[in-house]
Amino acid sequence: MTMLEDRLGATFIALADPTRRAIVARLAAGDATVNELAAPFDMTLPGISKHLKVLERCGLITRTRHAQFRPCHLEADVLDSAIDWMQQNRRIWSERFDKLDSRLRELQRPTNDVSQKPARQRKSHE
């Protein structure tokens, strides 16, 4: 497994949690402190910190230090990698579904040609 696949997997695992998705959405609007990120949630600061550590480990966020504040920053390039992967796979699956749809339409098309019927059915009608 490549480093990109490992990071991509970690990104999707991190984004599987609704609280972490909400944190990422908030950080898309700009940097924020832990207290600012915790405000909309009915959760303790240590609970929010655990979520931030998950996001930080997969590279989605970084934390810097400005005096007594440690603002969190969204690393959009990591999110862009996940989006690129989804778009690439969406194209692949769209093509596959289009082929399947086409084949299903072919199979559902009525045939009136006697030569298309199996030999058993032709003999019983002749």
Domain ranges across the chain: 3-78
CATH number attached to the domain at 3-78: 1.10.10.10
CB atoms within 10 A of CB 106: 8
How do residues 28-81 score in pLDDT, each as one tens digit?
A: 999 999 999 999 999 999 999 999 999 999 999 999 887 788 899 999 998 888
* pTM score, whole prediction: 0.68
CA within 13 Å, CB half, 46:
0
Q: Compute the distance between CA of residue 125 and CA of residue 117 in angstroms, rounded to an integer.
A: 11
Query: Which amino acid is present at 57?
Result: R
Closest to 57 (Cα-Cα) out of 88, 81, 78, 30: 78
